[in-house]
Every structure is written in C-alpha cells, then in structure tokens.
Amino acid sequence: MIPQLQVIGITGIPEIKPGDHLGDVIVKAAQEQGTPLETGDILVVTQKIVSKAEGRVVDLRDIEPSPFAKYVAEESDRDPSHVEVILRESRRIVRMARGTLITETKHGLVCAAAGVDASNVPGENNVSLLPEDPDRSARGILKDISMLTGVDLAVIISDSFGRPWREGSVDIAIGAAGLDAVKDYRGTDDANGRALKVSVIAIADELASTAELVTGKIASIPVAIIRGYQYTAGDEGTKPLIRESAKDMFS
C-alpha cells in the first residue's frame, strides 16, 4: 500500500471576532469550498483565530507596566506595556539578551515573547495572547464539529515558534484534541533487531508544520485539513510534548 496524505487549506474564513464559534465557521467554509470535513481528518487551526474567538486580545493602553517591565523595555527598545503583557503571560524567563525575551509560558511552552503578538490583530494598540488553555480550545472545536457534522476527527492548534541553533520558525502544536500527540516506538527494534535511535516522534508538531505549508502567513487561510494520516485516538492533548524544565539541558 502506498502511504498518501492530502493537505487542503480552508479558504473563505472571515475575520474572527470574540465569541465566534470556530467549529461552525470551519465546517461552513470547508463545505462551501467543496471539501467537507470527513471522519479521520486532522484539522489544524492556527493560533491567531483561536485567540481572537476567545477574546484573548489586549489593548496595551489598558496595561500598567511594572518597574521591571519598564527597565526591560528600555534595555530592549520595546513598549513597556508590551513587555508587561509578556511578563504576565510567563512563569519563568529562560533567556534575556539582544532585545529578545525567551520565556516559559504558563502552559509550559518556551518561546519568544510568551507568544504575545501584534501581527494580524486589528487595532493599532492591540496584541494577541495565546489561548488560556489551547488543549481545551482544541477540545471545544472538536466537540462543536462532532455535534454539527457527526464526523470523528482530531484538532490541533498551531503556532509559529523559533528554535535554538536554526534560523526560521516552524509551526508546532500548542493544543490538541482527539489524537495522540506523539508516536512512541520505545521498545521497538529495527529490521536488524537493534533499538531505534529515535524512539518518540512528535507527530502533532509535524502535522502543524505540514499545515503551515498551505496556511502561510499572509493569505487568509487560517485552517488546514490533513487527510489520510492514520493517527491514534488519544485524549492527553499536547501534554506528551511538554518536557519538564528539570529534565531539559537548555533550561
């Protein structure tokens, strides 16, 4: 059997407003473009529209920066209120240098500026925050789509993250529902009876990166369908992808 996947961008999704039901919007848009959702699909939803639907947008004029935020802002040539929002989204600062703040968010994600982002957010002083609980967001979208259509699928919430040592960002999974986020080969031998070097694959991250190839950054294609990938059903969300900082060599 030839393993094959299809990756389909969903076009025609309007600007999302607080309170919008993403499940409805996605089901409708997929239908309208002639690619209705099917059982076994993986739906990859980019973070920005999830944050917008959940009202995770703040007006920087409403934020009172702390003395530390003011100091950091001056050192890094940023807006003090923007730095304040980053600090409020963080539980730990991992690196601070060269105008970049790498922090661990309250979800355990390590990234630049705690995922706080001004791009593609309407309103001159607005920035978007990551969803409060992206696994819960994914479960919500999954549930809405199941109720509307009866199809049984999986949902990933994706965002673009930089990496140490490599230029350029790639999309990874910050939230997931309905599938095992990792594929675990531990205890499996190769064709020669030797243990595999790489034993756990971050499938959900690879799926998020795959979707980025059709969603891109500018076109209004914030959602993609991945069809044909045989995932394992699971309900742990993205927990299996988060490494405890105590176990990390770069914390």
Query: Does residue 221 bind a second copy (CB under 8 A)?
Result: yes
Distance CA 87, CA 245 (A): 18
Partners of 97 in beta bridges? 100
Least distance (Å) between residue 251 CB and a second copy: 8
Query: Does residue 195 bind a second copy (CB under 8 A)?
Result: yes
- Site residues for a second copy, 30-49, by CB under 8 A, read 33-35
Q: What is the three-class DSSP state of 142?
A: helix
Query: Does residue 163 bind a second copy (CB under 8 A)?
Result: yes
- Site residues for a second copy, 66-105, by CB under 8 A, read 95, 97-98, 100, 102, 104
Q: Which is nearer to a second copy, 147 or 200 (CB)?
A: 200
Residues 6+ apart with CB under 8 A from 113: 86, 100, 101, 103
Which of residues 160, 177, 223, 237 is near a second copy by CB under 8 A?
160
Q: Which is nearer to a second copy, 61 or 98 (CB)?
A: 98
In contact, 213 and 7? CB cutoff 8 Å: yes
Per CB under 8 A, the segment of 20-28, 73-81, 144-152, 181-189 that binds a second copy is 181-189
Q: Which is nearer to a second copy, 6 or 232 (CB)?
A: 6
Which of residues 69, 182, 222, 223 is near a second copy by CB under 8 A?
182
Q: How far apart are the first and last CA of the chain?
A: 43
Least distance (Å) between residue 143 CB and a second copy: 25
Query: Does residue 220 bind a second copy (CB under 8 A)?
Result: yes
Which of residues 76, 143, 170, 236 is near a second copy by CB under 8 A?
170
- Site residues for a second copy, 119-148, by CB under 8 A, read 119-122
Q: Which is nearer to a second copy, 89 or 104 (CB)?
A: 104
Beta-strand relationship, 42-46 and 57-59: unpaired
Q: Binding residues for a second copy, how many (CB under 8 A)?
A: 80
Say which DSSP state 189 is in: B
Least distance (Å) between residue 29 CB and a second copy: 11
Distance CA 86, CA 116 (A): 6
Q: Which is nearer to a second copy, 4 or 39 (CB)?
A: 4
Q: Which of 107, 52, 119 is nearest to 82 (CA)?
A: 119
In contact, 131 and 51? CB cutoff 8 Å: yes
Q: List, edge to edge, every strand of the sheet that includes 154-163.
A: 154-163, 42-46, 223-227
Beta-strand relationship, 100-105 and 90-97: antiparallel
Least distance (Å) between residue 172 CB and a second copy: 7
Distance CA 45, CA 30 (A): 13
